[in-house]
């Protein structure tokens, strides 16, 4: 069962839970004290240097993923059922002003990059305005994950308003299969959007492919050919237990080793030590002949929790410290009830510290007692 409430009222309980399960250090509820610049402060057992969000395992949190809507015009088989999805009423979503306030608060705690996601982020009205507002905050990187359906129309305005790059989900290069996986989707339209995004400078473009057993693992080589021809980075993603239907089973996962073996049956491939993208969870590889690049996101078979630098904000304003977390802390009440901007900012920052204290060493998908979160990917924002 997920736990949602305002940060202040729940932090004690959540921290207590965390102490019994995985927190090796003693924690107390968060207070950010005002002190001189550069002075190290101890906040809930976390040493804060006034510049970056470092958790008790030494992980620096410099990236935030923001879901701006839970709605979508597609119904991908690994994400949502074709019928019966219920979406949040608009009043429950953070407004753009509220999102910007939260992002401003975490930026001053050292967060450097923002990824806008959903649901389908381009369904949210005036999304280009939001990009402009976020851009004005001065983050080093602003990117978006989209199904690409409306990207062609919005690409230019998104880029002019400050979006740097996009990840577009594709899953199949065969039009019929694309429509069977990305139900209600249109491959030619999405490929047209990718061309348009490239034309206006929204790059490097990454193409996401969720690989599922018996569905599209036969297209791994085709996607490599595509990466080599287009220059876009194809990222193969392991199917995760985050579908709204709850139909995930381990035997549907095509693991990183199998994906690599398939590719190496045709090309030499070497890992890229530093791909320059610290916000990416993918392990990246270059083809040995120097043409093209791919990535693998192996959340299930090779979890990368030790390097996790991400925080997440759901569309209704809950902080999640991990995709697979079962607890959340809401900042919506804070931004709607605190009186001044300063108070709101301070309380939001406290909530993020609390979320960081609760962050576990790993998501534990491999543990026998792993329990999947009761939130689907479309609510969390992948
Ligand atoms: N609607 C946009 C899209 O499809 O790109 C953005 C949101 S979507 C939830 C973000 C990413 O999560 C997509 O690349 C999608 O393929 C991936 N995704 C969704 N459900 C998944 C699952 N159960 N396992 C792995 N990846 C998943
Ligand atoms: Fe929509 Fe993206 Fe989920 Fe597909 S993966 S149903 S496009 S939110």
pLDDT digits (tens, 9 = 90+) for 281-329: 889 999 999 999 999 999 999 887 778 889 999 999 999 888 888 788 9
Q: Is the CB of 373 under 6 A from ligand 2?
A: no
Nearest to 191 by CA among 210, 211, 212, 205: 205
Q: Are 70 and 121 in contact, with CB atoms under 8 Å apart?
A: no
Determine the Cα–Cα distance for residues 123 and 92; give it in Å rounded to an integer: 16
Q: Which ligand is nearest to the CA of 82?
A: 2
Residues 6+ apart with CB under 8 A from 85: 75, 244
Within 10 A of 83 (CB to CB), how many other CB atoms are there? 6
Ligand 1 centroid, distance to 208 Cα (angstroms): 8
**Ligand 2 atom having least distance to the Cα of 185:** 7
Q: Pull the structure tokens for residue 19.
A: 């102490």
Binding site membership of 147 for ligand 1 (Cβ less than 6 Å): yes
d(C-alpha 382, C-alpha 379), whole Å: 9
What is the Cα 175 distance to its own chain's centre? 27
Helix, strand or coil, per DSSP, at residue 116: strand
> Using CA atoms, how far apart are residues 203 and 157, in angstroms rounded to an integer?
14
Residue to mutate, 146, 169, 245, 314, ligand 2, most ligand atoms under 8 Å from C-beta? 169
Q: How far is the CA of 103 from the centre of ligand 1 (A)?
A: 22
Q: How far is CA 363 from the centre of its chain?
A: 15
Question: Looking at the DSSP assignment, which residues form a beta bridge with residue 287?
Answer: 269
pLDDT digits (tens, 9 = 90+) for 65-83: 999 999 999 999 999 999 9
Distance CA 36, CA 33 (A): 10
Residues listed for the chain: 382
- pTM for this structure? 0.88
Atom of ligand 2 nearest to the CA of 80: 6
Q: pLDDT (tens digit, 9 = 90+) per residue, 238-274?
A: 999 999 999 999 999 999 999 999 999 999 999 998 7
Report the chain's mean pLDDT, rounded to a whole number: 86
Q: Residue 378 C-alpha to ligand 1 middle, in angstroms?
A: 7
What is the Å distance from ligand 2's center to 85 Cα? 12
183: part of which helix (H) or strand (E)?
strand 182-183
97-122 residue pLDDT tens: 999 999 999 999 999 999 999 999 99
Supply the pLDDT for residue 112: 95
The helix/strand/coil state of 263 is: helix
So what's the pLDDT on residue 37? 39
């Amino acid at each position: 069962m997920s736990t949602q409430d305002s940060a202040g009222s729940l932090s004690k309980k959540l921290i207590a839970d965390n102490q019994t399960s995985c927190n090796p250090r003693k924690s107390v509820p968060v207070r950010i004290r005002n002190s001189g610049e550069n002075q190290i402060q101890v906040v809930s057992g976390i040493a804060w240097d006034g510049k970056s969000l470092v958790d008790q395992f030494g992980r620096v949190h410099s990236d935030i993923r923001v879901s701006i809507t839970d709605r979508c015009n597609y119904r991908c088989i690994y994400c949502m059922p074709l019928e019966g999805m219920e979406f949040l009423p608009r009043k429950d979503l953070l407004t753009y002003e509220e999102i910007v306030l939260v992002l401003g608060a975490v930026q001053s705690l050292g967060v450097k990059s923002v990824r806008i996601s959903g649901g389908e982020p381009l369904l949210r009205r005036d999304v280009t305005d939001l990009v402009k507002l976020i851009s004005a905050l001065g983050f080093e990187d602003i990117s978006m994950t989209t199904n690409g359906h409306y990207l062609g129309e919005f690409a230019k305005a998104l880029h002019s308003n400050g979006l740097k790059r996009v990840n577009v989900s594709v899953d199949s290069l065969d039009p019929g299969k694309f429509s069977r996986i990305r139900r209600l989707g249109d491959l030619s339209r999405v490929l047209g959007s990718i061309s348009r995004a490239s034309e206006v400078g929204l790059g490097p473009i990454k193409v996401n492919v969720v690989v599922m057993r018996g569905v599209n693992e036969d297209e791994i080589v085709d996607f490599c050919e595509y990466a080599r021809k287009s220059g876009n980075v194809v990222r193969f993603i392991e199917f995760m237990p985050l579908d709204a239907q709850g139909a995930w089973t381990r035997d549907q996962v095509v693991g990183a080793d199998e994906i690599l073996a398939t590719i190496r049956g045709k090309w030499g491939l070497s890992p890229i030590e530093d791909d320059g993208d610290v916000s990416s969870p993918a392990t990246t590889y270059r083809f040995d002949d120097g043409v093209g690049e791919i990535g693998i996101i192996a959340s299930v078979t090779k979890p990368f929790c030790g390097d996790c630098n991400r925080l997440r904000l759901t569309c209704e304003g809950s902080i999640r410290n991990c995709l697979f977390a079962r607890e959340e802390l809401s900042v919506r009440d804070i931004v709607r009830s605190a009186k001044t901007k300063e108070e709101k900012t301070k309380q939001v920052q406290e909530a993020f510290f609390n979320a960081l204290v609760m962050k576990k060493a790993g998501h534990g998908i491999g543990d026998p007692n792993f329990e999947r979160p009761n939130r689907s990917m479309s609510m969390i924002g992948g």
